[in-house]
Structure 1
Amino acid sequence: MNEQSAPRVAVTLPGGRAVAGRLHARRQDAGQWLYEVSIEVPAAAVRPVDGEDYGQVPTERAGGRPEWVLQALPQDTPDQRALVLHSADCWAAQGRLTPASSSEAAIFVQHGWATACDVCKPTPGSSRR
């Protein structure tokens, strides 16, 4: 069952606040029912766990905005690539920018076709942006 087809449920959090969620599974365990649900919460309410890799988590941006952009430097030509990889929200990314997926960004850096920005220090394919 995917996220869209899972039935909606109301989840009451500690403190009494109710949020919408999706029910993915349920099971009876020692006389009580346990439900596996997913909820959406603001990013500020979530913190990463040390040692976990978040690099493969699907990321959707508002308005179809990419996660990564490649900046072509003035000396960039088809024969001599001069590209800098930025996170899409990096203030240093300017000029001619090309959107890139995480896998494309990782390939460009891995093969030396692009260098990582010194400001935002992007690391596509890892748990750290």
Structure 2
Amino acid sequence: MSEQPAPRVTVALSGGRAVAGRLHARRRDAEGQWVYAVSIEVPAEAVRPVDGEDYGQVPTERAGGRPEWVLQALPQDTPDQRALVLHRADCWAAAEGRLTRASDKEAAIFVQHGWATACDVCKPTPGREMISG
């Protein structure tokens, strides 16, 4: 038996903008006003993490089902001394700086040779079989 998705709603944002959302619950408060619990999808650039929250267990969907990786160049990165951090492509900690997409094989090689360190937030594990085998 498949669960029906929550009904669609339009959510009004400040500045006269509106986005599509899903209505999950509603309740009437003590003053008689309705309060709705909705979910909306927004671009990642519009979302900021909250200090102290753990995002490691958030379900993540990727196009095509394959992991994607990004290498983030840190300010101290130079051609002579690499300072790169490897992130999952959906990692919120990779929101700033120069980001370069990497294949699973490329990401594994960068970590294996010490050319990049794995992000402490998303803990990427590219090419696990390639590195251990």
**TM-score bracket relative to the smaller structure:** 0.5 to 0.7
Q: Which has the higher helix share?
A: 2
Listed as ranges, the gaps of 5+ residues in structure 2 are: 70-85, 90-100, 123-133
Give the whole-Å Cα distance in 2 for the aligned partners of 1:60 and 1:19.
Answer: 21
Unaligned stretches of 5+ residues in structure 1? 69-85, 98-113
Query: Which residue matches 2:6?
Result: 6
1:65 CA displacement = 2.0
1:63 aligned counterpart, secondary structure: helix
Aligned to 1:16: 16
Counterpart check, 1:41 vs 2:42: yes
Q: TM-score, normalised by structure 1?
A: 0.56
Q: Deviations over 1:35-57 (max 9, x none)?
A: 00000000000010000000110
Q: What letter matches 1:119 in structure 2?
A: A
Aligned twin of 2:105: 94
Relative distance call for 1:115 and 1:19 in structure 2 (3 A) is same
The answer to whether the 8 A contact 1:26-1:34 is kept is: yes
3-state SS in 1 of match to 2:64? helix
| Structure 1 residue 4: Cα displacement | 5.7
Calculate the aligned-residue CA RMSD, in Å.
Answer: 3.4
Deviation of 1:62 after TM superposition, in Å, equals 1.4
TM-score by length of 2: 0.55
Aligned length: 91
Distance in 1, Cα, partners of 2:113 & 2:119: 6
